[in-house]
């Protein structure tokens, strides 16, 4: 069974994904950052944001040794 967003028609396999998606339409941001006050609509975006404050750079280039906080920066 698919769960469809009544606002935009996008479908999701899980009701939890539809609930998370719904925050896009409401503008509700349930995940505030204690370090800077910025808020996020999903826990994924919040956790990804935390790398800015921690300084963690888990993605290392095998060619030059430079580290990045996002994996897609390795492909540039």
Among candidate residues 19, 41, 28, the one with its CA nearest the CA of residue 10 = 19
Q: What is the pLDDT of residue 76?
A: 64
Q: Mind listing the pLDDT tens digit for each residue in 15-41?
A: 999 998 888 899 889 899 999 999 998
With 70 as the cut, is the pLDDT of residue 46 above it?
yes
Instruction: Tell me the C-alpha distance between 8 and 4, whole Å.
Output: 8
Extents of the domains making up the chain = 29-76
The CATH number of 29-76, from 3.30.160.60, 3.40.50.460, 3.30.70.2740, 3.40.50.1980, is 3.30.160.60
Place of tokens 């808020």: 39
Q: What is the mean pLDDT of residues 43-71?
A: 91
């Amino acid at each position: 069974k698919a769960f469809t967003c009544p606002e935009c028609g996008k479908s999701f396999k899980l009701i939890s994904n539809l609930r998370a998606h719904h925050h896009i339409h409401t503008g509700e941001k349930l995940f505030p950052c204690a370090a800077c006050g910025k808020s996020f609509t999903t826990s994924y975006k919040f956790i990804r944001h935390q790398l800015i404050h921690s300084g963690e750079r888990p993605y290392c280039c095998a060619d030059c040794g430079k580290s990045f906080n996002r994996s897609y920066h390795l492909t540039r």
